[in-house]
Chains A and B, each alone.
Chain A
Amino acid sequence: MASPNGSPSPGGEDRTEQEPQQSEHLNIKVTDNNNEVFFKIKRTTQLKKLMDAFCERQGKAPQQCRFLFDGQRVNPPDTPETLDMNDGDVLEVHQEQIGGSC
């Protein structure tokens, strides 16, 4: 790697060996049947905040929404880091149902 003035920078070889670091923020799409909302979130931020923001924005009760990522339930303390999420991943929101009989 070269510095802006063209001269090789000290320790440049070490930096080239490093893997490209993942960005600190992620863009996550949250979708239900009708709506799509895009969120920008840090990898270490709990997804509870995102869930609350989505529910508040869509006027839904948190007790009525199930958030799924890759078919698996997303718990409020989870973070994008623990779920190994990538930029552009999608969270599905399913409505909580009740059943007895008809």
Chain B
Amino acid sequence: MTAVSETGAVTLLPEAPQVGIPSFESTDTHDRLNQLRDELRTLQRTESTSSLLVNEKVNTLNQYVQNKANEKGKRYLKSLQNGPWQVQPYQVWDDLGPDAVKSRFFLELLCVISRYCEYPIAVEKLNAARDKRKEASRGTHKGVNKKADRTVHDATVVLQAVEQTGPAHVKKRKRDAGGFATTEQDRPPTTVHSSDSASEISIEGPRGKSLKPLGASDVTDTVGDTAFNASVLSDGDANAAPDQLSVPSFEEEDARTLDIPENGLQIPSPHLATPVASDDCVEWSEPAVQIKKHPKPATRALPVSTPTREVIDIDSLPDSPSARIATEPLLTGAIESLHGEHWLSTEAVFRAAKLFNPDILTWYIAEPITTTSDPSVGDRGEARLRLLEDSHQYVVVFVHNRCHWTVGIIDRHDKTIRIYDPLQSTRYINESQQAVQDFARRLPGKCSGPAPEQQWTFDQTPIFPQQDDGFNCGIYAVVFVIFAMLNEEAPRSILPATWREVIACGFKACLGHDREDAVGTDSLRDDPVADISTFGAPIPSADDASVEGIKHEVKGLTVLLNDARLRVENFTMISNLVEKAYQARDECRRRIEEMMGLIKIHLSLLDEPCTNPHRFPLKSSLVSIRQLDSMRKLAVREIAKYRNVAGSAELKRSQLREQAMDAARKDIESW
């Protein structure tokens, strides 16, 4: 069974139903051929199987297959559907399996392959490549998947093969598409006879068979390139079939042109020679088109979805109910991350450093960066730090290194960078150095110091306690920054749990909670009194009086004393920090007074009649006033935070001190 597309192409329809093919007994052959052509054209070439199905079912199948593919895969399936071979998606599914439909790379390669060769040939080649891959020995195809049904590797192999054969291959396929053999071996032996007319060539079928005209009773389907599409070979029957049929020669096919034939055949059946009525045979004149005319390979680009710029009008959206806690969602999350052994969030390390910043005019806390940040985000030229002033000598930037916090302190005057890694890992230090150096190069503004050509240098790794657990790197980084900002000597060790409590108290104060709530016991991770009272539970009773028991008790008390000493040191350190915070607050107040004085001076200058406009330019005065005012607002805001933090920390310190004293008293009494 054959069908003809509108373009005149023809292909085999293995299971297509028979159509009414007229016999050639009538003399009006051209009319019958026209009728045949019309009937054949009603069958779409691509509906080889779908002609048996209802259109709805075909659409359902296609939809089902397309849903299996991703977005790009759908485009390629659509491209195949609209391509020269008009391959339906369900055909791809049926021919190549589900793996092929799910892989967009495979579909992409299939689209390219279908430009070089016919789709059925491509399927055969892909099957051959798959079989070859599966049968390949282990040594020859190392690293190639031998289990998968369809792989991109197969498509790549086929594409390379068809690309090498290139245009000649396509040309041959065009010729073969007319219904003749692919190769000389496959082609049935034919004998070509030239008739009188230069354009008519007679041919005999293979093995003495003659070509039987259409309409014969034994119309059978033929499969493969070696078959004659529309004509059926039968043993010589002089009554029913002519002895000789004239068909085009292969050598002349390129010279033919698409001429409109006579007798009303507007688009002649491309695979049929035009019969001329005769008494005992049918002579075939040269058909206008003897080959299946392939449409040009699909060179159009795949459909690309153009991004639509949708603008959302915020003011038209309904107001959402605003809760107090919802105004600071990040800070709420930061407080949660300070509990227990949770890892610290970005907001926690950033806000903690800002809370303890003693000099906001000298120290600038930048938003944390990450070593894996996407460079496409934002302007990667010069960093845009709106509140960074020339007076900021130091810039603190935390670095998120996959799952670890490190910190860098940039000295803009000396062009030096200090990197602190709580784990003291060379890998993290190197990655952080690179990230902080890139950040420092993009810092805007000018600052006094070396020339801009001078390269950034790295200070020696600072001496600071090393993290000894798996969850407190953020705390260590924050405490390092606090000590650096306060210019304090590095401590011997720190107590991360205590620092977590202090910072959490400060955050709660920022959220606007009451002081009692801020220092409530709910924020305590563990109770030191409980630790001390429960310590030494396995100590043997006095009745045993064994040496081991006494040793164990002494050892436990030693640990207890060391722990108490460490806590006292920590309390002292926090007390010093609180004192420093108060001093910083006073210093900020003093600076604000100075700023206010400067602002008044500027304002008074503005009030005075200005005789020399160059001496007190209006614009620069306004700019400086605006800068001073913004700095003043910032300082006032920071001081309010300090006040809360300092008050909370002081109360907390007194509570912890009392608890430690009680515990020590109980311990001494029990001793």
- A residues sitting closer than 8 Å to B (CB atoms) are 25, 27, 31-33, 37-42, 45, 48-50, 52-53, 57, 62-64, 66, 68-73, 76-77, 90, 92, 94, 96-102
Contacts and interface: CB of A to CB of B under 8 A. Distances in A.
Contact of A71 (B384, B402, B405, B471): B384
Given A33-B377, A72-B386, A102 B311 contact: no
A98 B343 contact: yes
A99 to B, nearest CB: 4
Nearest to A30: B312
A73 to B, nearest CB: 7
Contacts of A99: 343-344, 349, 400-401, 403-405, 473-474
Given A39-B311, A68-B367, A101-B467, A96 B387 contact: no
Contact of B386 (A66, A70, A102): A70
Nearest to A38: B311
B313 A96 contact: no
B386 A96 contact: no
Given A40-B312, A70-B384, 14 more contacts: A25-B315, A31-B377, A39-B313, A39-B314, A63-B329, A66-B347, A76-B328, A90-B378, A92-B377, A97-B346, A99-B343, A99-B401, A100-B474, A101-B473
25 contacts: A38-B310, A40-B311, A42-B315, A45-B314, A49-B314, A49-B320, A52-B320, A53-B312, A53-B314, A63-B332, A71-B366, A71-B383, A72-B387, A77-B327, A92-B378, A96-B330, A96-B346, A97-B346, A97-B370, A98-B337, A98-B344, A98-B345, A99-B403, A99-B473, A101-B473
Contacts of A62: 326, 329
Contact of B346 (A27, A53, A66): A66
B474 A49 contact: no
B28 interface: no
Given A49-B314, A101-B471, A102-B403, A76 B386 contact: no
A57 B312 CA distance: 10
A16 B566 CA distance: 74
A32 B472 CA distance: 29
Interface in B341-395: 342-347, 349, 366-368, 370, 374, 376-378, 383-388
Contacts of A52: 320
Contact of B402 (A37, A63, A73, A102): A102
Which one of A38, A39, A45, A102 has the greatest number of beta carbons of chain B within 10 Å? A102
A54 B383 CA distance: 24
A40 B314 CA distance: 6
B341 to A, nearest CB: 8
A23 to B, nearest CB: 13
B101 to A, nearest CB: 26
Contact of B317 (A53, A63, A72, A94): A53
A100 to B, nearest CB: 4
Interface of B: 309-315, 317, 319-320, 322, 326-330, 332-333, 337, 342-347, 349, 366-368, 370, 374, 376-378, 383-388, 400-405, 422-423, 467, 469-474
A66 B400 contact: no
A70 B388 CA distance: 10
A100 B317 contact: no
Contacts of B320: 49, 52
A95 to B, nearest CB: 8
Contacts of A40: 311-315
Which one of B330, B332, B337, B343 has the greatest number of beta carbons of chain A within 10 Å? B330
A62 B319 CA distance: 16
Which one of B314, B347, B349 has the greatest number of beta carbons of chain A within 10 Å? B314
Contacts of A97: 345-346, 368, 370, 400
B311 A27 contact: yes
A99 B369 CA distance: 13
A33 B374 contact: yes
Given A101-B473, A102-B402, A96 B311 contact: no
Contacts of A45: 314-315
A38 B309 contact: yes
B313 A71 contact: no
B405 to A, nearest CB: 4
B458 to A, nearest CB: 22
Contact of B403 (A41, A64, A70, A100): A100
The 10 closest A-B pairs by CB, nearest first: A100-B343, A100-B471, A70-B386, A71-B385, A99-B405, A70-B384, A98-B343, A41-B314, A63-B333, A62-B329
Contacts of A50: 314
